Amino acid sequence: MEFNLIDKQQDFLKLLQTQGKSFNTVKNYKADLQCFNHFLIDKQQHLKMKAFTTSQVQEYSQYLDQKYDSSNSVRRRVQALRLFFDYLMTQKLFIENPLKQMAVSPKVLDNPEPTPFPEVLKTYQILKRKVQNTEGLAQIVSARNVIIFHLIYGAGLKVSDMAKLHFSSILKDGARGFRVMVEHPKRDPYSIPLPPIFNADFQFYKTHYLQLLKKEDLDIEELLFNANPYKILAGGLSPRGTELFFEELRKEVKSDMTAKSLRQSCIFKWLNLNTAHATIKEWMGVTPSYSLELYLEELKKDPTGKVYKDLSDD
């Protein structure tokens, strides 16, 4: 059965959106699939297809190797196309995935590029001042942003993990303070301790946020929320929403900080605190076989530049 490739790609991208993939993730998949479209056009093939042969798979592999120097770039585009053909199989348009046997180079991990600790501290202080200097909804949004900061630098959470948190995800941890529970559909939940400085910031946020929800008669259970300058729009904050927060933050503090670089700062903090490597891997949500070698090598290269610690009110 012949089908229009562009139409099916659009359907695939819409499916990714409904699955909760971030704006940037969907955009990257679109770019990767367009690379495949350009390959077909270069080969003077129409964007209507009913088959993709082994010889065409080999040609596409050679096309990518010639076009990209980075093995990670090739790997990403192959993986995107492989997932797209998996989708076509669910649509009964292919019996098997022609990309299944296409070999790609192993993923090359980039060296971590954490946000320097002075910048981490400065950013936290700026976020706290915004809480103190605002009121009403603007103050609650500012308080929410402080919580986002703590969840990443304090507990090393990914933006995808934060999107799913509820107030019930913040657990009392005896006299010490709080832990955050991370739950995934394919593995057991685990919890990560939050630093003591989180306590007062969380209590302030929770009190004022719940008061506003009661006042506006909103039934929201999620820890974070999406809002415009005038009202809360919905509970939960998508990965794209967190990305937008960091985009605005970079402009304000004139920094290169991203959620990823701040999370890497947290991992260096754990190493500085002599946290057991097995524990760090558990908190990162990775398998025991995951290697921290890149972090340890960076620490050896510049130990004084990688001195991170928990934030304090001092």
Transcribe 157-220 into DSSP letters: --HHHHTT-BGGGEEEETTTEEEEEEEETTEEEEEEEPPTTHHHHHHHHHHHHHHHHHHHT---
Residue 268 has pLDDT above 80, yes or no: yes
What CA–CA distance (Å, rounded) separates 272 from 295? 11
41 alpha carbon, distance to own chain's centre: 33
Q: How sure is the predictor about 14, in pLDDT bands with cuts at 50, 70 and 90?
A: very high
CA angle 138, 141, 145 (to 5 degrees): 135
**DSSP element (H, E) containing 226:** strand 225-227
pLDDT at 167 over 80: yes
Angle (CA) 228-158-70 rounded to 5° is 110
Q: Which fold would CATH assign to domain 117-306?
A: hpI Integrase; Chain A (1.10.443)
Task: Name the residue ranges covered by the structural domains of the chain.
Answer: 3-90, 117-306
Residue 266 CA, chain-centre distance (Å), reads 15
pLDDT at 186 over 80: no
User: Is pLDDT at 314 greater than 70 in this prediction?
Assistant: no
CA geometry: angle at 313 spanning 310 and 314, to 5°? 100
Check if 3-90 and 117-306 are the same fold.
no
pLDDT at 67: 84
Answer whether 0.85 is exceeded by the pTM: no
Whether the per-residue pLDDT at 44 is higher than 80: the answer is no
pLDDT above 70 (res 59): yes
- 180 vs 171: CA distance, rounded Å: 6
The per-residue pLDDT for range 131-164, each reduced to its tens digit, is 999 999 999 999 999 999 999 999 999 998 998 8
* Residue 249 confidence (pLDDT): 93
Query: Given its phi and psi angles, is residue 44 left (phi above 0), alpha (psi -120 to 50 degrees) or beta?
Result: left
State the pLDDT confidence band at 109, using cuts at 50, 70 and 90.
low
The pLDDT, as a whole number, for residue 143 is 97
Of the spans 5-14, 106-115, 297-306, which averages the highest pLDDT?
A: 5-14
Ramachandran assignment for 156, one of left (phi > 0), alpha (psi -120 to 50 degrees), beta (any other)? left
pLDDT at 23: 80
- The fold for domain 3-90 equals DNA polymerase; domain 1 (1.10.150)
The stretch 180-205 carries a mean pLDDT of 91
Average pLDDT score over the chain: 89
* Sheet order of strands, 187-193 included: 170-173, 177-184, 187-193
Residue 278 confidence (pLDDT) above 60: yes
Percent of the chain at pLDDT exceeding 90: 57
Spatial distance between the Cα atoms of 219 and 11, rounded to a whole number of angstroms = 33
